[in-house]
Copies of this chain bind each other. A is one copy, B any other.
Amino acid sequence: MDGVAVGVCGTDKEIVAGDYGWAPPGEDRLILGHESLGRVREAPQGSGFAAGDLVVGVVRRPDPEPCGACAHGEFDMCRNGRYTERGIKERHGYASQAWTVESEYAVRLDPGLESVGMLLEPTTVVAKAWEQVERVGGRAWFEPRRALVTGAGPLGLLARCWRAARPGRPRTRPGEPGAEAGPGRGARRDVPQRGHRRGDLALRPDVVIEATGAGSLVFASMAGTATYGVVCLTGVSPAGRKLSVDAGSINRDLVLENDVVVGSVNANLRHYHQGAEALAKADRAWLERMITRRVPLERAAEAFTPRDDDIKVAITLT
């Protein structure tokens, strides 16, 4: 595979800071890059791929001795923690000019997605999150009318894009929080701050996709949904952020409203295929605007220094 680009996310920054990540056994270094994009240089016959195909590599692999979930193909739901991850956990990532990937963990993209295909991996996280909402919500009658997406980083924005691409699902309404049309200068202003209060969720959404990881907003979401609300948490927050909460109210609200809070991380193969389909249909210019900086590999370190108007920063490999 010829590397085309990788996206940089918070997990990469945690790895660079030494707070997360594991090098492959016996090695001192980990090659970064899990939001991948490459072009097939050479593919074995019968693999289903041909030279020139635009491809994204899946991040996670199950352990050779799989847990029950991994044995059922659900490595995103791994129970024993012995999975590995390209660019994160015990496997080198995709931030190389050349890399290889098993054909069963390669996903072909629409050829027109060369400039934005590194958005597939975060899109898979969003695909899984919405699926979790539908599965958990589907435990009884479920016709949600109002959804709130918190956060205007890549996950939050893609969660809105995903919603728009899937008719028949709940939509945000114009003028409501979460209804912002797309990214661009100023989009980051949507990001809720730590001082966010419960009263701010007065719209009582049926569904919340929480994509900030900010504790105050996580708990405001828990208490702020409509009856039978579903909150899907997708933002990874650092430990040690203390917060004073009205524990009685939050518990009472969850119980009396039959509410659910579901955490969602990583994604399965089917989410990659769903994501590839959604990206192919999405507004290309909208996706382009999400990549606010493109840094060449030789200046890769710059990608890890945040700037105010960053949404998604990519490292280009060609």
User: Which A residues contact B (CB, under 8 angstroms)?
Assistant: 68-69, 71-72, 74, 76-81, 132, 135-136, 139-141, 143, 213, 215-216, 218-219, 226-228, 233-265
Check B247 against A241 for contact (C-beta < 8 Å).
yes
Residue in B closest to A255 when the chains form the complex, CB atoms:
B263
Secondary structure at the A interface, as helix, strand, loop or mixed, is mixed
Check A251 against B233 for contact (C-beta < 8 Å).
yes
Residue in B closest to A232 when the chains form the complex, CB atoms:
B255
Check A256 against B251 for contact (C-beta < 8 Å).
no
Check B227 against A238 for contact (C-beta < 8 Å).
no
Q: Can you list 27 pairs linking A and B with CB atoms under 8 Å apart? A: A68-B141, A69-B141, A72-B141, A74-B140, A76-B258, A77-B141, A78-B227, A80-B227, A136-B262, A213-B251, A213-B252, A213-B255, A215-B247, A218-B247, A236-B256, A238-B248, A240-B248, A241-B247, A241-B248, A242-B246, A243-B244, A244-B244, A255-B263, A256-B265, A257-B263, A260-B262, A261-B262
Check B246 against A241 for contact (C-beta < 8 Å).
yes
> Do A244 and B246 contact each other (CB < 8 Å), given the known contacts A135-B139, A265-B256?
no
Smallest Cβ distance from A216 to chain B, in angstroms?
Answer: 7
Known: A77-B140, A254-B261. 20 other contacts (CB 8 A): A74-B140, A78-B227, A79-B226, A132-B139, A136-B136, A213-B248, A213-B255, A216-B247, A218-B251, A219-B247, A236-B251, A237-B252, A238-B248, A241-B246, A243-B245, A243-B247, A255-B264, A257-B265, A260-B260, A261-B261
Q: Report the 8 A-B pairs with minimum CB-CB distance, sorted nearest first.
A: A215-B247, A241-B248, A254-B263, A135-B139, A243-B247, A239-B249, A255-B263, A237-B248
Which one of B242, B245, B254, B264 contacts A242 once the chains associate, using CB atoms below 8 Å?
B245
Check B259 against A143 for contact (C-beta < 8 Å).
no
Which one of B72, B237, B252 contacts A238 once the chains associate, using CB atoms below 8 Å?
B252
Smallest Cβ distance from A183 to chain B, in angstroms?
Answer: 23
Check B255 against A265 for contact (C-beta < 8 Å).
yes
Task: Kindly list chain B residues whose C-beta atoms are within 8 Å of the C-beta of A78.
Answer: 227
Smallest Cβ distance from A307 to chain B, in angstroms?
Answer: 24
Copies of this chain, how many?
2
Residue in B closest to A263 when the chains form the complex, CB atoms:
B254
Smallest Cβ distance from A136 to chain B, in angstroms?
Answer: 6
Separation of A263 and B136 alpha carbons in the complex (Å): 12
Which one of B143, B237, B261 contacts A247 once the chains associate, using CB atoms below 8 Å?
B237
Separation of A246 and B240 alpha carbons in the complex (Å): 6
Separation of A72 and B228 alpha carbons in the complex (Å): 15
Task: Kindly list chain B residues whose C-beta atoms are within 8 Å of the C-beta of A255.
Answer: 213, 233-236, 263-265
Smallest Cβ distance from A229 to chain B, in angstroms?
Answer: 9
Residue in B closest to A129 when the chains form the complex, CB atoms:
B255
Separation of A21 and B252 alpha carbons in the complex (Å): 15
Task: Kindly list chain B residues whose C-beta atoms are within 8 Å of the C-beta of A68.
Answer: 141, 143
Task: Kindly list chain B residues whose C-beta atoms are within 8 Å of the C-beta of A79.
Answer: 226-228
Separation of A252 and B20 alpha carbons in the complex (Å): 13
Smallest Cβ distance from A219 to chain B, in angstroms?
Answer: 6
